Amino acid sequence: MLPVSIVQQIGLGVLFALAVVWTVGLTRMLRRGRYEAALWRDQQEMRARYAPRGRSARPGPEALPGGPELLGSVPRQTGPPGPPSECVQLSDAERTAFEGLVRQLTSPS
């Protein structure tokens, strides 16, 4: 075992503790910002939905903003709306080399 002084061990422990505290703080800060942004968006939507528009006007969803700012899912990447899929023609030597590589990677060893 390598000779390590007590000062080096304490320094390593302090450095590790600071790294953990920094990581936890950064994570909390990023999550809080995301939460506050979502909360602000929800408040804006509720104000638009339930804002009084006149004496006899009932609040309704027609005053809501157009659409969400974020995508609900990842859109398709192929087909008419997306870029065309790519196709590469392989020579016979490339095809046999690729088959050998696939066999090598999929064989139990």
pLDDT tens, position by position, 12-51: 999 999 999 999 999 888 887 777 778 888 888 887 777 7
Res. 98 pLDDT band, cuts 50 70 90 = very high
Q: Give pLDDT, residue 99.
A: 93
Is residue 22, in this structure, part of any structural domain at all?
yes
Is residue 63, in this structure, part of any structural domain at all?
yes
pTM score, whole prediction: 0.34
Is residue 2, in this structure, part of any structural domain at all?
yes
d(CA 102, CA 97): 9
**Domain tally for the chain?**
1
Is residue 19, in this structure, part of any structural domain at all?
yes
Is residue 88, in this structure, part of any structural domain at all?
no
**Residue in the block written with tokens 């050998």:** 100
**Strand positions, DSSP E, the chain:** none
| Domain enclosing residue 10, as ranges | 1-68
Is residue 35, in this structure, part of any structural domain at all?
yes
pLDDT tens, position by position, 45-91: 887 777 766 655 555 555 555 555 555 666 656 666 666 667 788 89
pLDDT tens, position by position, 24-33: 999 888 887 7
